[in-house]
Amino acid sequence: MIQVTRSSMPDFEEYCNEIRSMWDSHWLTNMGEKHQRLEAMLKEYLDTPNAVLYANGHLALEDAIAAMRLPEGGEIITTPFTFASTTHAIVRKGCRPVFCDIDPDDFTLDASKLRSLITEKTCAILPVHVYGHICHTDEIQSIADEYGLKVIYDAAHAFGVIKNGVSAANFGDVSMFSFHATKVFNTIEGGALCFRDGSLTEEFNHRKNFGICNPTDVVFVGGNAKMNEFQAAMGICNLRHVDEEINKRRTADSVYRELLGNVQGIILPKIREDSENRHNYAYFPVLFDGFGYSRDEISDRLKENGIIARKYFYPLTSSFECYRGMDFAKNARTPVAAYCADRILTLPLYADLTTEEIERICRVVLRGR
Ligand SMILES: *Cc1c(COP(=O)(O)O)cnc(C)c1O
């Protein structure tokens, strides 16, 4: 069996050494020593002035929306070509998603379609750096500035990515990272918010702890989204090895590209890497368009051969059953996103995927051609 991904883990001894001190301190959560150390390490790694750790990426995103002080029922322009979390966070925080179509070259929000979606109720833009491809940040920011809109990035896929010398953590008003087990960098479950305005640090720290400011002052109707010490210790260990992990993913990506890069009907998104740009190889998305077999046929054939690929992202969030009949879902006009969702398949990619395994996967994909 080849799974679509495989969580990065440090050596067992390395993790044991990292958590040993907790048997002396008995300090297991609530911004302990491991939490503080990981937060400092991540600020440095992501080259960002402010970072607040979370129990997971989704709750971080909900707090990011809450802290922007958006009006109840305000419209947030976003993409339906994403994981459930992005759209759910908007709806759960009392706002209304307005779906914008995507750019077929990198699967991120098509900034040229933004203006036509802005109304007097629009209060924010929430784009996603899909598969680690950084959004069209300059165009998005200039439209946001023109209309006075907040920009919240779902950077769950973009850990360690750098575009034109700028870290993925430093775009917009706030960026959410996920450290879920399936991501390039993991803390088992986990996440973080990164942002330029340092005055938000305190607010996020309070929001993730029930809104408690001190033992007698509760200033927000906050939830509980604190990262615990075992998660932070996992992060400290994994962060030591993340560059090596990304390098191994880059090698695997290049083997795939060699085998699938010049095949009629297989489209691979372009990646730019140079002294100012770095990719993280979080996923290996393939668009089957005029290949002779459909995406579903290829996916089934892989499964019959013990290889698990993922229809990521399919279906569009605007087609979810939980949103059926709602105006914002019915009004969605995103033909490019729908086209991509029907044809996209992410093939297995993780640091320890071997060249032989990639060759086997590609043989199954290309069989009959
Ligand atoms: C993983 C992911 C999330 C949610 O992160 P969790 O840490 O699992 O809560 C949100 N958005 C996208 C695009 C993701 O891939």
Using the mean position of ligand 1's atoms as its centre, give its distance from the Cα of residue 156 in Å: 5
Q: Is 299 in the pocket of ligand 1 (CB under 6 A)?
A: no
| 58 within ligand 1 shell (Cβ under 6 A) | yes
- In the structure, what pLDDT confidence band is assigned to residue 322 with cuts at 50, 70 and 90? very high
Q: Is 88 in the pocket of ligand 1 (CB under 6 A)?
A: no
Q: What does the pLDDT average to over 119-142?
A: 98
Mean pLDDT, residues 88-114 taken together = 98
367 Cα: distance to centroid of ligand 1 (angstroms)? 34
**Cα 24 to ligand 1 centroid, rounded to whole Å:** 34
Distance of alpha carbon 154 from alpha carbon 312, whole angstroms: 16
Residue 166 parent element (H or E): strand 166-167
Q: Tell me which residue has its CA closest to atom 10 in ligand 1.
A: 85
Calculate how far, in angstroms, residue 27's C-alpha sits from the geometric centre of ligand 1.
28
Residues 352-362 have a mean pLDDT of 98
CA nearest ligand 1 atom 7, residue: 57
User: What distance, in Å, lies between the first and last C-alpha atoms of the chain?
Assistant: 24
Whole-angstrom distance, CA of residue 356 vs CA of residue 369? 20
**Residue 128 beta carbon below 6 angstroms from any ligand 1 atom:** yes
Question: Has residue 262 got a pLDDT over 80?
Answer: yes
Per residue in 216-228, pLDDT (tens digit) is: 999 999 999 999 9
Query: How far from chain centre, in Å, is Cα 362?
Result: 26
Pairing state of beta strands 166-167 and 162-163? antiparallel
Cβ–ligand 1 contact at 255 (below 6 Å): no
Indicate the average pLDDT of the chain: 97
For residue 310 and ligand 1, the question of a CB distance below 6 A is answered with no
178 lines ligand 1 (CB under 6 A): yes
Q: Which ligand 1 atom lies nearest to the CA of residue 157? A: 15
Query: What is the maximum alpha-carbon separation in the chain?
Result: 70
- Using pLDDT thresholds of 50, 70 and 90, give the confidence band for residue 369: confident
Nearest alpha carbon, ligand 1 atom 5? 57
Going from the Cα of 291 to the center of ligand 1, the distance in angstroms, rounded, reads: 30
Does the Cβ of 63 fall within 6 Å of ligand 1? no
Whether the CB of 231 sits within 6 Å of ligand 1? no
Whether this model's pTM surpasses 0.95: yes
Q: Is the pLDDT of residue 295 over 90?
A: yes
Q: How far is the centre of ligand 1, averaged over its atoms, from the C-alpha of 80 (Å)?
A: 14
Q: Which of 50, 72, 90 is nearest to 200 (CA)?
A: 50
* Count of H-run helices and E-run strands, the chain: 12, 14
83 lines ligand 1 (CB under 6 A): yes
Residue closest by Cα to atom 6 of ligand 1: 57
Q: Give the three-state DSSP class for 218.
A: strand
- Is the shortest distance between the CB of 85 and ligand 1 below 6 Å? yes
Q: What atom in ligand 1 is closest to the CA of residue 182?
A: 1
The span from the CA of 337 to the CA of 352, in Å, is 31
Q: What is the distance in A from the centroid of ligand 1 to the CA of 169? A: 15
Task: Check residue 263 and give its pLDDT.
Answer: 97
| Predicted local confidence at residue 140, as pLDDT | 98
Is ligand 1 within 6 A of the CB of residue 133? no
pLDDT exceeds cutoff 90 at 129: yes
Nearest C-alpha neighbor of 114 from the set 82, 137, 84, 89: 137
Kindly report, residue by residue over 30-88, the tens digit of the pLDDT. Answer: 999 999 999 999 999 999 999 999 999 999 999 999 999 999 999 999 999 999 999 99
Cα atoms in the 13 Å half-sphere on the side-chain side of 48:
32
Instruction: Evaluate if residue 323 carries a pLDDT over 90.
Output: yes
